[in-house]
Amino acid sequence: MNAEKKPWQSEEMLLNGMVEAVCYSGFRSGQHPDRGNGAVNPGYHEILEDLKMLIQQTPFRLIRMYDCGENTQMTLRVIKENQLGLKVMLGIWLRAELSAHETCEWLTAPIPQETLDQNKNLNAREIETGILLANTYQEIIVAVNVGNEALVDWNDHKVSVDSMISYVKKVKAATDQPVTVADNYKWWSDKGKELAEITDFVSIHVYPVWEGKDIDEGLSYTIKNVEEVMTTLPGKQIVITETGWATVASEFGKRASQEKQKQYIGELLDWAEKNNITIFIFEAFDEDWKGDPGNPLGAEKHWGLFTVDRHPKQVVDLFSSTH
């Protein structure tokens, strides 16, 4: 194990000097982002309650948000007005510009060209909003992420690499924060060289449990994933912008549990601390709007450190001594 004694990255490669970070959306039961029929967003005081909960019960002071919509704008306002001291990695959400109906299992028909053209206009508007927010909240937003899992073949909001490169260049030219793109580790290791040249750091997603692994292989498989990207993109700053362990999942059976979530996150943060790698845990709170509405036990709904009713899960015990 001597090889592990030397950190994988230098301290300068930590995002804002932080190891521990968390993904946050804040949608409670009955709330959801806009998926075509309008959004039901959390209110100001609900967001304030969430963020205070994170501050009081966890070490997380860096949160990741996914888009530039009303929910994110409200969260930035809450942080600023209440001087919470939290930092944010801002997300710019990109909608489909290509139809991935042949490779995405839940797209049953091609996305009409009219919709794709419309999405391109919406993406341009989202980018402008992202630039505006990054410049307005410079003291809070420490990085800007363009697109989330928009490059992999298996997702429903696919964007071409060429478009992504031009979007990243545009955001970089108009903001002062480092700019990145968040995607699956495998995409980065197989196809990411050209994009990595223009991003300030590489943001990868690693989910051992989605790839059939149980807790005994959780950390070792994650390390292997990170190593794969580092080997392909030597010297590039790596941030893990999504990883976690579901506590309930019809898809995973007994591999999902609160005990296993606690073990995985504990082992992972310990490893990250030694190796100067920022880790965004997915996610702060369970979100029951996600996945199949007819399956309350679906994995998508159960990654939180807290339940959707804001009760801490076992993993929060990890932080009581360090906090």
Residue 2 has pLDDT above 70, yes or no: no
pLDDT tier for residue 56 given thresholds of 50, 70 and 90:
very high
pLDDT tens for 247-268 read 999 999 999 999 999 999 999 9
Residue 4 has pLDDT above 60, yes or no: no
Written as one string, the DSSP assignment of 237-304 is -EEEEEE---SS-TTTGGG--HHHHHHHHHHHHHHHHHHT--EEES-SB--TTSS-TT-TT-GGG---
Kindly report which listed range (15-29, 61-75, 86-100, 169-183) carries the lowest average pLDDT score.
86-100
CB 99 within 8 A of CB 107: yes
Higher pLDDT, 155 or 177: 177
Structural domains present in the chain: 2-319 (3.20.20.80)
Over range 200-222, report the average pLDDT: 98
The C-alpha atoms of residue 18 and residue 37 are separated, in whole angstroms, by 38
pLDDT tier for residue 154 given thresholds of 50, 70 and 90:
low
pLDDT tens for 82-105 read 999 999 999 999 998 887 878 778
Q: What percent of the chain has pLDDT over 90?
A: 86
Q: How high is the pLDDT of residue 1?
A: 46
Q: Which amino acid is at 11?
A: E
Counting Cβ atoms within 10 Å, is residue 105 exposed (0-12), middle (13-18) or buried (19+)?
exposed
Locate the DSSP E strands across 123-231.
Answer: 141-148, 179-184, 202-205
Residue 157 has pLDDT above 90, yes or no: no
What separation in angstroms does the CA of 112 have from each of 59, 107, 125, 247, 273? 45, 12, 20, 37, 46
Average pLDDT for the chain: 94
Residue 156 has pLDDT above 90, yes or no: no
Over range 17-34, report the average pLDDT: 95
CB 232 within 8 A of CB 221: no
The reply to whether the predicted model has a pTM over 0.85 is: yes
